[in-house]
C-alpha cells in the first residue's frame, strides 16, 4: 500500500483484538492476561520508523462494569509499553473510554472523543493524514467520522459486510506493517 505516508502521518490503533489477544466474553484485567498477538511488537517497531505519532484508542467498559479499576488498566498498559519499548518500538499516547456502551459517552468509539483528545494534546495531528487500524465496525466508524483512512485487522469476510467504512483489510498488524512502503 502506498498512500504517500511519511513522518507527518499518525497511526491510531485499537487494542483488544489488534495489539493483544481478545478474551471472549471477558476483559484483560491484569498484566498476566495481556498477550500480544504474534508479530505485534515487530509491527509497532516498524510503525515507529514510519509514523510521527502512534496512538492507542481503546474502549474499556470493564471499568464501567466494576470488573477492573483504572489502576488495573494502567498496569496492563505498563506491561504493553515496556514490551514495545524493549522491542524497539513506541506508542506516544494511550486513550481509553471507561464508560458503558449504554452511556453513549463522547469518548467511547464510535464517538470521536479520543481522537479529538489526541489532536488537542499532539497538536500536529491531521486526521486526513491519519489511519485507524482496528478489528471492529466501531473502529471503522470512528475513523470515517474523523476523515481517516481505515484499516480493518482480521477476517476479510467481516470487513466486506461494511465496505463503505473499510479502505484496507489485513489479517494482522505485522502484515499491514509489511505492506507499507517508506
16 is catalytic: yes
Contact predicate 146/10, CB 8 Å: no
In whole angstroms, give the CA distance from residue 145 to residue 141: 6
Say whether 145 sits in a helix, a strand or coil: helix
Cis bond upstream, residue 110 (ω within 30): yes
How far apart (Å, rounded) are the C-alpha atoms in residues 180 and 40? 15
Beta carbons within 10 angstroms of residue 181's beta carbon: 9
CB 155 within 8 A of CB 134: no
The catalytically annotated residue of 16, 72, 135, 172 is: 16
Instruction: Identify whether the C-beta of residue 134 lies closer than 8 Å to the C-beta of residue 140.
Output: yes
Q: How far apart are CA 4 and CA 163, in angstroms?
A: 22
> Catalytic residue positions?
14, 16
Amino acid at each position: 500500500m502506498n498512500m504517500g505516508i511519511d513522518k507527518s502521518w499518525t497511526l491510531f490503533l485499537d487494542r483488544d483484538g489488534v495489539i493483544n489477544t481478545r478474551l471472549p466474553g471477558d476483559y484483560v484485567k491484569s498484566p498476566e492476561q495481556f498477550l500480544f498477538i504474534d508479530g505485534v511488537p515487530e509491527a509497532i517497531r516498524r510503525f515507529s520508523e514510519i509514523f510521527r505519532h502512534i496512538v492507542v484508542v481503546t474502549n474499556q467498559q470493564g471499568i464501567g462494569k466494576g470488573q477492573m479499576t483504572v489502576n488495573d488498566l494502567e498496569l496492563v498498559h505498563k506491561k504493553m509499553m515496556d514490551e514495545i519499548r524493549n522491542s524497539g518500538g513506541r506508542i506516544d499516547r494511550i486513550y481509553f473510554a471507561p464508560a458503558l456502551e449504554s452511556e453513549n459517552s463522547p469518548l467511547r468509539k464510535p464517538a470521536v472523543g479520543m481522537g479529538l483528545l489526541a489532536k488537542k494534546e499532539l497538536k500536529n495531528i491531521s486526521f486526513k493524514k491519519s489511519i485507524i487500524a482496528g478489528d471492529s465496525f466501531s473502529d471503522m466508524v470512528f475513523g470515517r467520522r474523523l476523515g481517516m483512512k481505515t484499516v480493518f485487522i482480521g477476517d476479510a469476510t467481516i470487513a466486506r459486510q461494511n465496505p463503505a467504512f473499510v479502505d484496507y483489510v489485513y489479517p494482522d498488524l505485522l502484515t499491514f506493517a509489511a505492506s507499507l512502503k517508506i
